[in-house]
Structure 1
Amino acid sequence: MHNGRIFTLVGGIFGLIGLVLLCVGITLAASTASFLSSAERTDGTVVALTERTTTTRNSDGNARSSTAWYPTVEFTVNGRRYSFQGSSGTNPPSFEKGESVPVSYDPDDPSDARISSFWTAFLAPMIVGGLGVVFTPIGAVLFVKGRRITRLRAWLRDQGQQVWAEIEHIGRDFAVRVNNRHPYVVHATWQDEGTGRTYTATSDYFRHDPGPDLHGRTHVRVLYDPADPDRNLVDLDARHP
């Protein structure tokens, strides 16, 4: 059984980020709706498409580039020409140069304007809010899982049944990444004398190889739930009597 603090910490971070994104998305949507409700409307023309390329790095450290095109729109109010660049870029471009688009502008300050189509006006709030909708439940699930694991570990330490399990394997868990590295784990097995069934317990994650710290030990203490031996805890600190 792995340490619940990791799930609790990651869940708390994801949940907090999700709530912040939700709040930002709702605020952006409310601000946009308020602007559109009081804005004047006219037609504008897309006069340019500006290409922007951003570079990010994934969990493996590899660079990844993405490109989006942002429209520049011109429109006229009372004989005066104004222009603005759309706040949202897309790939492929959502507009073509020379295309006519609806424009909403502040009648007291026509330089404050935006494309007034629903998808263009609310794209940013929807993206930010959508990320919040995704992050918040993920964070909640991880946080709850972490708390359950923490309570179970405490119960196992207090009431779990003890067995000395044979160390079967010490090595990296290549199915998991922690801080962009595969952590080390200890696998230990024991056989239930009543059922004859063999169970395997997995230790917490380790950043470094725990093998040298075991000093040649062949067995480790495992605390398990007699009603469900798959609920277990590897205690590497205990010494075999």
Structure 2
Amino acid sequence: MKIISKIKYIFLAIGLPMLIGAVLSYYGTSSFLEDALSAEGTITDFEERYSDGSTTYRPVVQFVDNNGQTIEFISSIGGSRSAYSLGEKVGVVYSPLNSQIASLDSFFSLWGGTLITTILGGSFSSVGVFIFLIGKLRNRKNGYLQRDGVAVNARFQGVRLNHTLSVNGRNPYVIDCHWTNPETYRVHVFESDNIWFDPSSYINIEEIRVFMDKKNTRKYYVDTSFLPQLAK
């Protein structure tokens, strides 16, 4: 299905750069901390930021570097004002080469960006990889059943929409067919893989080939190779 395939690549295209960014952020912070100097800073003010109807406050911090120079910076991490108070003493780490490159000495100030991009990148990439693996496993299963399964001719019952799956507001179609086991007189109900166009006008046969697992009839593949391929 072309839509699912596109979604797979979209998720990977978003997730993988995020993971790369997370790795670069991790090594950048690690490199910074290797040489960083520590100091005690003081919260002197708060910078207000407005976003999506909410207000966050970024602490304005002053500290004295190893050269006796007073440095002021705005924390890259903001939150509710109650998280800090004016005059509060906080730990600071800064670059010995450029004291203006400084950060609060807290986990989230140092690693928050890395953590967030790792979670988001991992989530997006996982969805893309999951869709990719599902497709590969389905193709492998169908190939196995066609090669080593038992072939039966099932009677065509009809075409319907699969309302359990929706992509961009669209539902795929599935073909239903039945086969009665002549030895047990039990009726087996089969459902094709999802089809992303209405195949009704292309079905002019009464029976459709189905391949079943020899040991487990719940594992099957409805052969829809007689249908035209959806254009790219």
CA distance in 2, matches of 1:70, 1:130: 24
- 1:103 touches 1:114 (CA, 8 Å); kept in 2? yes
SS, match of residue 201 in structure 2: helix
Q: 1:161 to 1:125 in 2, by over 3 A?
A: same
Q: One-letter code of the match for 1:73?
A: V
Q: One-letter code of the match for 2:207?
A: H
Deviations 1:12-66, CA, capped at 9 Å, x for gaps: 876786565444323322321321332232313152231223xxxxxxxxxxxx8
CA distance in 2, matches of 1:107, 1:230: 67
Q: 1:18 to 1:197 in 2, by over 3 A?
A: farther
CA distance in 2, matches of 1:37, 1:44: 23
What is the match of residue 207 of structure 2? 219
- 1:48 touches 1:97 (CA, 8 Å); kept in 2? no
Deviates more, 1:147-156 or 1:70-79: 70-79
What is the match of residue 50 of structure 2? 51
Q: One-letter code of the match for 2:107?
A: F
Could you tell me which runs of 5 or more consecutive residues in structure 1 were left unpaired when the two chains were aligned: 54-65
Higher relative contact order (CA 8 A, sep 6+): 1
Residue 36 (structure 1) aligned to one of 33, 44, 65: 33
> What is the number of residues matched between the two proteins?
220
Displacement of 1:122 in angstroms is 0.9
Bigger strand share = 1
Q: Is 1:69 the equivalent of 2:66? A: no
Q: CA RMSD in A?
A: 3.5
SS, match of residue 196 in structure 1: coil
- 1:68 touches 1:89 (CA, 8 Å); kept in 2? no
SS, match of residue 217 in structure 2: strand
Q: 1:238 to 1:162 in 2, by over 3 A?
A: farther
Q: Which TM-score applies when normalising by structure 2?
A: 0.73
Q: Report which of the two structures shows the higher radius of gyration computed on alpha carbons.
A: 2
- 1:170 touches 1:186 (CA, 8 Å); kept in 2? yes
Q: Which TM-score applies when normalising by structure 1?
A: 0.71
Deviations 1:172-209, CA, capped at 9 Å, x for gaps: 21111234422121122222222333222222222222
Q: One-letter code of the match for 1:82?
A: E
Percent of pairs identical after alignment? 25
